[in-house]
């Protein structure tokens, strides 16, 4: 399966899983923004992608929407029916899938590196602030696929703590795979980044648990995962970048009377959040809390000093 197709199908699946209501083909086309402009070509490609999802075991449902007698088809994946079985992907295909997502940085062609160049702070050398990507461990994914398909509990070390988890859902977004499941010790549903899982082991009993009638998947924002003091960040966004923030940071934006937007984020990884804000360059401003504003200023000062030292 080609890299572009893997990426497109992955985005299609993510949109369907995260949608609160059925979505028409046109809505999905506009959201994913990877289909051809030609209507006939789009319908053919979309039809092939739907078939691929069904072959993967995704319970894709088609429902009529619109007034009676003039209804259109819309598509929906019920999270209660969905769990990801073993896809039998080869090691090469899994590598392509990870590479495709990890290679895509939004805001046009601007990467973290290029954003730092525009800010005058990129020196060409590695430093603590540069964004990193991680390829999920193949053995970890295979183990979790098996546990999901056979309803087996798993044990693992996560954030230096041993946990027993009943897997509900595996999701892929941006740069990482995420596991959502019931943590026995905590008695609640939690999500985990799979690249941070250690000493993963699968239980021996099949059908050891049942999926709940409803549950919520992972929060896909990278800055939602970390050990920093949780804070609520308020961000002022230039009107030209509101759509990007809504689509790619999975957050609703309130529009002010002047056309600019305000968004609030729960942040548990301060540096990761600042990385995202840097990508927006002068199109965004952290309004609060002062803790993040001060860290952002310190980051800019660090970049400026690094630039000056390397050009001295």
pLDDT digits (tens, 9 = 90+) for 50-83: 888 887 778 888 887 655 445 578 888 876 666 4
Taking residues 156-182, report their average pLDDT.
85
Question: Model pTM greater than 0.75?
Answer: no
- Phi, psi torsion values for 160, nearest 5 degrees: 65, 20
The answer to whether the CB of 2 falls within 8 A of the CB of 52 is no
Question: Does CATH number 3.40.50.10490 belong to domain 3-77?
Answer: no
- What confidence tens digit (pLDDT) does each residue in 73-125 have? 888 887 666 644 455 666 666 655 554 444 443 334 444 444 444 444 444 44
Provide the mean pLDDT of the chain: 77
Stretch (H or E) spanning 52? helix 39-55
Query: Range with the lowest mean pLDDT among 137-141, 213-217, 269-273?
Result: 213-217
| DSSP calls for 237-250 | E-GGGHHHHHHHS-
Q: Show Cβ contacts of residue 103 under 8 Å, excluding neighbours closer than 6 positions.
A: none
Domain ranges of the chain: 3-77, 103-131+224-310, 138-218
Class of the CATH domain delimited by 138-218: mainly beta
The tally of CA atoms less than 13 A away on the side-chain side of residue 4 is 5
């Amino acid at each position: 399966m080609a890299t572009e197709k893997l990426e497109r199908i992955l985005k299609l699946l993510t949109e369907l899983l995260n949608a609160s209501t059925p979505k028409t083909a046109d809505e999905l086309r506009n959201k994913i923004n990877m289909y051809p402009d030609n209507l006939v070509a789009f319908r053919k490609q979309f039809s092939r992608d739907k078939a691929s999802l069904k072959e993967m075991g995704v319970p894709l449902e088609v429902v009529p929407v619109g007034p009676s007698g003039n209804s259109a088809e819309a598509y929906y994946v019920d999270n209660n029916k969905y769990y990801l079985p073993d896809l039998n992907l080869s090691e090469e295909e899994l590598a392509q899938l990870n590479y495709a997502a990890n290679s895509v940085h939004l805001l046009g062609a601007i990467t973290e590196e290029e954003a730092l160049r525009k800010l005058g702070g990129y020196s060409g050398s590695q430093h603590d602030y540069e964004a990193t990507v991680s390829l999920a461990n193949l053995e970890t994914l295979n183990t979790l696929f098996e546990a999901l398909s056979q309803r087996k509990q798993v044990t693992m070390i996560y954030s230096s703590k041993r946990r027993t988890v009943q897997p509900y859902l595996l999701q892929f977004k941006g740069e990482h795979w995420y596991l959502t499941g019931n943590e026995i010790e905590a008695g609640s549903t939690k999500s985990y980044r799979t690249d941070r899982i250690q000493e993963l082991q699968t239980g021996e009993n099949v059908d050891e648990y049942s999926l709940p009638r409803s549950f919520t998947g992972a929060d896909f924002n990278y800055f939602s995962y970390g050990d920093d003091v949780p804070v609520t960040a308020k961000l002022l966004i230039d009107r030209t970048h509101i759509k990007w923030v809504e689509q790619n940071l999975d957050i609703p934006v309130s529009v002010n009377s002047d056309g600019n937007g305000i968004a609030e984020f729960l942040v548990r990884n301060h540096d990761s959040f600042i990385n995202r804000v840097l990508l927006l360059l002068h199109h965004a401003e952290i309004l609060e809390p002062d803790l993040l504003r001060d860290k952002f200023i310190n980051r800019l000062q660090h970049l400026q000093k690094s630039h000056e030292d390397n050009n001295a």
